[in-house]
Structure 1
Amino acid sequence: MATSGNFYSTHVGEHPGEPNLADPELVADPYGGYGRLREQAPVLRARYLDGAPIWLVTRLDEVRTVLSDPRFVNDPSVLADAPPTASRRAFVEGMGIPEDLAPYLFGTILDLDAPDHTRLRKLVSRTFTVRRVGELRPRVEEITERLLDELPARAEDGVVDLVECFGYPLPITVICELVGVPEEDRPRWREWGRQLVPPDPATLGSILRAMVDHIADLIKRRRSQPASDLLTGLIRTHDEDGDRLSDTEMIAMVLTLVVAGHETTTHLISNGVAALLTHPVQLELLRSDPSLLPGAVHELMRWCGPVHATRLRYATEDVEVGGVTVHRGDAVQPVLVSANYDPRHTPEPERLDLTRRPAGRGESHVGFGYGIHYCLGAALARQEGEVAFGALLRRYPDLSLAVPAEELEWLPIPANRRLARLPVRLGG
């Protein structure tokens, strides 16, 4: 499938024999490329985007081990005496991010470890409980139906881009309503999210500054006009017990929830629709039996989920993983896509099968992560996927790709799988 130029490849080829996450083979064909690495070894030497040495962890058992073992941490600052690896400071400097904005990128719930991660997660977890998400379902269905109503008018020569007209607006609307971003502000959030991936060093600093300033203004407005949303709850927690949630943490939390809360779901929906339209047997199976939708979302997340690797983890002591000794201070990259295709756990992993069910309790894939950093919004993302796939197939039974599958354009972003656009014909 086609990809455009890749600006991440600066350090590719500097260390022959050690794959770099930006290797063209891995970016263009992550399933085959990481699959070959997985069959070489469960843990092997590689290079991060900045050329720093890392360990790739490729098999499901070992990925789960790293993601659940407290000896592997997200925040490398606890290892001040260890050799620096894949420095976040280097990223900040290389991307032109002002120093005062760095905490909003790297001091978030995604980067922290216990007990700070636990403290922050408790503050927002009640918003994403299965019960709370279930109460949101009628609103998610209402938003979905409205977007589907608008698709014919958005088509040009009978073709509509589902990424732009459906994949993006559904989750950004839902997460903004949940968090408390006013409707008039949502278009700019959508544009900011689009500009952040992939990041452009020429604009990243100014975009981040605009987002932080906007959230600070939104917090000021919410203090004078409280509402029944997550932001009001965070403000109340901050004002009643400032030691539990700092100003920086509150802004970083909103930034993380809105961006992470719509970007991944956008591409789960878009990737999933593309997968269904290129697998007619599975498509017809789902159309004929909507009860398969919950399991189908899990299988699509395993088979074509948008996030292929987690944030780096750092060993706080020497740890043996997959027969390899990972030394204190070493950076470790769990690879979700190769773990999700591990034939030791998933029979015929290359085959899309919407009837798959986990062999035991819990999920058979790590598309939503694992351990304490398991995706906070997983239940919401699954629900949005169920509603989106079900309603789209019901409303447009003759939906089809408007271009051959091999001409779909995939963004050349390492460790991600995202369509630039998804042109379809609605039919009928």
Structure 2
Amino acid sequence: MPTVPEIDLTDPAVVRDPFTAYGAARECSPLARLPVPGAAPWWVLTRHEHARAMLGDPRFEITSGSFMGPDVPEDCRPYMRTMTELAAPEHARLRRLVSPAFTARRAEAFRPRIGTLVAELLDALPGHAEDGAVDLMRHFTRPLPIGVICELVGIPEDDRPRWRAYGAAVAAGSGRRFAEAVPGIMEGAKAAVARRRAAPGDDLLSDLVRAQDVDGDRLSDTETVTLVWHLVLAGQTPTNLIANAVAALLAHPAQLAALRADPGLMPQAVEELMRWCGPTLLSIPRHAREDAELCGARVGKGEAVVAAIASANRDPRAFADPDRLDITRTPGAASHLGFAHGPHFCLGAGLARVQTQVALTALLDRFPGLAPAADLDALRAPDPGTWRLTELPVTTG
């Protein structure tokens, strides 16, 4: 096999433009190495075919402890080992129980309630303007996902301001604010589960409480609370997806005009935007359960392997003219990996899609003069794992 390239995440050029950096590695080799300070380097799969295969390969597993930071209180830890981190048999059991609550049909049924939340946030936008500009991250894309989660879980209106603060802390990533938010989320989740056990309603949490398979297996309270935590954690994806999509459309006026002219393009536009500027740059690391071979290289037991989503989603072997944003792109044989693949395909993908479609449709309809109020490229976060903005200042016309 060719020489395995190395991708240096401490290089500002790589962080500033990961698509070019990973793309160069991809065209050199299907496999790269990623140095990790204080740990062994990771293997990185750069091409769509190999990345997709690894994400569905049982020889590579997600291990426990991904979110077990040292500052997380001991009594919260039983609820922090999410389904993503469980071994295959237990993961499959939970997936079987909860999947009916996360179908595309259930997500579609939730569309009107998402629309109400979106409208409320857009109504308030003009009041948040400062010097003629408003930060969509702060006042729209960040509060929306936690608002949706509150609807899904049935959080009472009086408690929602606290949950919005939790969502902002979780979206900010690990650190003190993250750790401080965890006990409140767990306390609220326990209370919500207890309410729905006593009085089920028309929400996703009620579906989970009622979930039962043909053998009578049910979710325990600990499992249900853990799923609420997982919803809060994974449910932040639309924050950055919607913001990235707005920035991309504003930077590509012809694409924006085509979408305004034909709103029916929105579902495929969201898929294209997820492919072209989705927030996930690297998959959650998998660890080899045994010695294995990848693209001609020996991977030792326990070594970490990641899929370079940013590279795979722009692989010319899978997508024609992949570096071009094209919201009219006809779906081909390959699908993007923005929601992963295989047994750990994102459970909430349907909800994230509907949420993004509703948010973009309403935003573009409400503000036909929407325009950037700053150089958005200069507002990219120096985050090697997530393609995201720190803020999104716009004028609404």
TM-score by length of 2: 0.90
Paired with 1:71 and 1:221, the residues of 2 have a C-alpha distance of 40
Identify the residue that residue 422 of structure 1 maps to in structure 2.
Answer: 392
Change (3 A) 1:200 1:266: closer
Does 2:42 align with 1:104? no
Q: Is the contact made by 2:62 and 2:284 (CA closer than 8 Å) also made in structure 1? A: yes
Identify the residue that residue 387 of structure 1 maps to in structure 2.
Answer: 358
Paired with 1:403 and 1:365, the residues of 2 have a C-alpha distance of 30
Identify the residue that residue 29 of structure 1 maps to in structure 2.
Answer: 17
Q: Is the contact made by 1:96 and 1:204 (CA closer than 8 Å) also made in structure 2? A: no
Change (3 A) 1:137 1:229: closer
Identify the residue that residue 130 of structure 2 maps to in structure 1.
Answer: 156
1:126 equivalent among 90, 100, 107: 100
1:227 equivalent among 183, 201, 206: 201
Change (3 A) 1:221 1:320: same
SS of corresponding position for 1:52? strand
Q: Is the contact made by 1:20 and 1:51 (CA closer than 8 Å) also made in structure 2? A: no
Change (3 A) 1:18 1:101: farther
Q: CA deviation at 1:143?
A: 2.4
Identify the residue that residue 167 of structure 2 maps to in structure 1.
Answer: 193
Q: Is the contact made by 2:19 and 2:310 (CA closer than 8 Å) also made in structure 1? A: yes
Q: How does 1:280-319 map to 2 (within 5 A)?
A: 280-319=253-292
Q: How does 1:258-407 map to 2 (within 5 A)?
A: 258-261=232-235, 263-360=236-333, 364-407=335-378
Q: Is the contact made by 1:92 and 1:98 (CA closer than 8 Å) also made in structure 2? A: no
Paired with 2:62 and 2:208, the residues of 1 have a C-alpha distance of 24
1:413 equivalent among 379, 383, 393: 383
Q: CA deviation at 1:67?
A: 0.4
Paired with 1:47 and 1:99, the residues of 2 have a C-alpha distance of 31
Paired with 2:307 and 2:340, the residues of 1 have a C-alpha distance of 10
SS of corresponding position for 1:56? strand
Does 2:214 align with 1:254? no
SS of corresponding position for 2:335? coil
Change (3 A) 1:269 1:135: same
Change (3 A) 1:291 1:421: same
Show structure 2 runs of 5+ residues with no match.
Answer: none
Q: Is the contact made by 1:21 and 1:49 (CA closer than 8 Å) also made in structure 2? A: no
Q: Is the contact made by 1:92 and 1:99 (CA closer than 8 Å) also made in structure 2? A: no
Q: CA deviation at 1:109?
A: 1.4
Q: Is the contact made by 2:283 and 2:307 (CA closer than 8 Å) also made in structure 1? A: yes
Q: Is the contact made by 2:200 and 2:206 (CA closer than 8 Å) also made in structure 1? A: yes
SS of corresponding position for 2:275? helix
Change (3 A) 1:412 1:190: farther
Q: Deviations over 1:31-58 (max 9, x none)?
A: 1222222223211222336533221111
Paired with 2:78 and 2:388, the residues of 1 have a C-alpha distance of 27
Paired with 2:68 and 2:271, the residues of 1 have a C-alpha distance of 35
Q: CA deviation at 1:258?
A: 2.4
SS of corresponding position for 1:54? strand
Q: CA deviation at 1:22?
A: 5.1
Q: CA deviation at 1:223?
A: 3.7
Identify the residue that residue 80 of structure 1 maps to in structure 2.
Answer: none
**Equivalent residue letter for 2:338:** G
Q: CA deviation at 1:203?
A: 4.4
Change (3 A) 1:344 1:236: closer
Does 2:58 align with 1:65? no
Paired with 2:26 and 2:127, the residues of 1 have a C-alpha distance of 46
Q: Deviations over 1:363-417 (max 9, x none)?
A: 521011111111111112111222222221122111100113343x122222101
Paired with 2:37 and 2:231, the residues of 1 have a C-alpha distance of 25
SS of corresponding position for 2:293? strand
Q: Deviations over 1:264-318 (max 9, x none)?
A: 0111111100100011111111111112111110110011111111211111222
**Equivalent residue letter for 1:251:** V
SS of corresponding position for 2:39? coil
**Equivalent residue letter for 1:254:** V
Paired with 1:168 and 1:197, the residues of 2 have a C-alpha distance of 8
Identify the residue that residue 45 of structure 1 maps to in structure 2.
Answer: 33
Provide the aligned length of Structure 1 versus Structure 2: 392
Paired with 1:180 and 1:22, the residues of 2 have a C-alpha distance of 42
TM-score by length of 1: 0.84
Does 2:139 align with 1:168? no
Q: CA deviation at 1:225?
A: 4.0
Change (3 A) 1:198 1:170: closer
SS of corresponding position for 1:194? helix
Q: CA RMSD in A?
A: 2.5
SS of corresponding position for 2:290? coil
Paired with 1:297 and 1:333, the residues of 2 have a C-alpha distance of 24
Paired with 1:242 and 1:24, the residues of 2 have a C-alpha distance of 54
